[in-house]
């Protein structure tokens, strides 16, 4: 579930006001509402009339209340590999997580692979049912639930994790493109990855689906027996990790071009399988400066991708 970051990130937050035990609300430098509790940080990027935005923010705060507590109450179940016929979780966010990973039972995956996206989807759905907005984007640590109306468009930077002032590409999404979720995974994120991808960004129907798919594709970008990759059991780094004793990537040395292409080839195969099922619409894979794209042309229609300076 190791996530690289999509572009949006809260900066310059003002002092937070308490909402409920352990949760805070603040405004970032752009004036967007930021809701935080424990490991969850949601940035609400809303477009529409001022009264509708205010209403949406109130709805979001109410919907956010209790989300973390619900997830904690079901952690033992959510950390188990998905299995056909297994026990269903009870909470609405937990159920979203389980549904997102269910199509991928042939690979090792737990519902935790979709947690960030599922929380974002939960808040987006609450707002969508109550407020008339032209843009709703709920960014949870770089995984984004998105709903656009009419001519509204949303631009995202595709990260390749190189230390430059440029993204690997800019994707512009419109209301008719069928994209409701964006997620990025890789070995540099705040969680652990089984693979060596610098970043894998996935566009999908919803954020939970994108989150699960990005995790699996990033895991598949790999050179399993390479001495250039340093790994450690996940449990040594995070005792409660859902990956248990599986080896996760700690460091990747410089790869030669053939090694890079072989690792990306493995990820492209996995991405193609997932896109073919409809669980993802497009994927952008990055490793040490090399970029691969799967499904973008068909998925985005009028949307475009290309290099652009970061603002």
Q: Which of the four pLDDT bands, split at 50, 70 and 90, describes residue 161? A: low
- Of the chain, the percentage scoring pLDDT greater than 90 comes to 68
Convert the pLDDT of each residue in 68-77 to its tens digit.
Answer: 999 999 999 9
Residues in the chain: 311
Query: How high is the mean pLDDT of the chain?
Result: 86
More confident residue, 48 or 10: 48
Give the number of other CB atoms < 10 A from CB of residue 97. Answer: 30
205 touches 178 (CB < 8 A): yes
- Asked if the structure places residue 1 within a domain, the reply is no
**Is residue 82 scored above 90 in pLDDT?**
no
What pLDDT shows up at residue 287?
93
Higher pLDDT, 194 or 308: 194
The tens digit of pLDDT for each residue in 199-250 reads 999 999 999 999 999 999 999 999 999 999 999 998 888 888 888 888 888 9
Going by pLDDT thresholds of 50, 70 and 90, the confidence category of residue 302 is very low
Question: Looking at the domain assignment, is residue 27 inside a domain?
Answer: yes
With respect to residue 4, please indicate whether it lies within any of the assigned structural domains. no
pLDDT greater than 60 at residue 116: yes
CA-CA distance, 53 to 48, in Å (whole number)?
A: 6
- Residue 187 is predicted with a pLDDT of 85
Whether residue 152 is contained in a domain is answered as yes
Q: Which of 302, 64, 93, 107 is nearest to 218 (CA)?
A: 107
- Kindly report, residue by residue over 177-204, the tens digit of the pLDDT: 999 999 999 888 677 899 999 999 999 9
**Domains: count for the chain:** 1
Determine how β-strand 153-158 pairs with β-strand 40-47.
Answer: unpaired
Q: Domain of 105?
A: 17-300
Residue 307 lies in a domain: no
pTM of the model: 0.87
Residue 11 belongs to some domain of the structure: no
Q: What is the CATH number of the domain that holds 103?
A: 3.10.520.10
pLDDT of residue 301: 38
In a domain, 6, yes or no: no
SS3 category, 293: strand
- More confident of the two residues 164 and 80: 80
State the pLDDT confidence band at 303, using cuts at 50, 70 and 90. very low
Q: Is the pLDDT of residue 261 over 90?
A: yes
Asked if residue 206 belongs to a domain, the reply is yes
Classify burial at 278, counting beta carbons within 10 Å of its beta carbon; exposed 0-12, middle 13-18, buried 19 or more: exposed
């Amino acid at each position: 579930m190791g996530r690289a970051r999509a572009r949006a990130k809260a900066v310059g937050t003002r002092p937070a006001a308490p909402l409920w035990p352990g949760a805070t609300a603040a405004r970032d430098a752009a004036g967007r509402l930021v809701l935080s509790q424990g490991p969850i940080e949601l940035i609400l990027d809303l477009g529409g009339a001022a009264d509708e935005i205010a209403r949406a923010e109130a709805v979001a705060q109410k919907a956010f209340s209790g989300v973390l507590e619900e997830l904690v109450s079901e952690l033992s179940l959510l950390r188990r590999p998905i299995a056909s016929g297994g026990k269903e979780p009870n909470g609405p966010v937990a159920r979203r997580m389980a549904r997102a990973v269910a199509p991928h039972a042939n690979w090792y995956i737990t519902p935790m692979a979709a947690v960030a996206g599922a929380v974002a989807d939960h808040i987006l759905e609450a707002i969508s049912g109550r407020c008339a907005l032209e843009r709703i984007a709920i960014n949870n640590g770089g995984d984004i639930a998105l709903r656009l109306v009419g001519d509204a468009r949303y631009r995202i930077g595709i990260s390749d994790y190189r230390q430059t002032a440029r993204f690997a590409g800019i994707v512009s999404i419109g209301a008719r493109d069928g994209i409701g979720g964006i997620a990025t995974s890789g070995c540099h994120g705040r969680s652990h990855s089984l693979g060596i991808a610098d970043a894998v960004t996935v566009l999908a129907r919803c954020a939970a689906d994108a989150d699960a798919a990005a995790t699996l594709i990033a895991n598949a970008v790999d050179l399993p027996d390479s001495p250039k990759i340093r790994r450690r059991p996940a449990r040594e780094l995070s005792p409660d990790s859902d990956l248990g004793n599986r080896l996760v990537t700690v460091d990747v040395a410089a790869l030669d071009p053939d090694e890079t292409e072989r690792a990306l080839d493995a990820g492209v195969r996995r991405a193609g399988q997932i896109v073919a099922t409809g669980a993802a619409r497009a994927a952008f894979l990055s490793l040490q400066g090399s970029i691969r794209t799967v499904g973008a042309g068909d998925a985005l229609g009028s949307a475009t991708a290309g290099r652009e300076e970061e603002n």
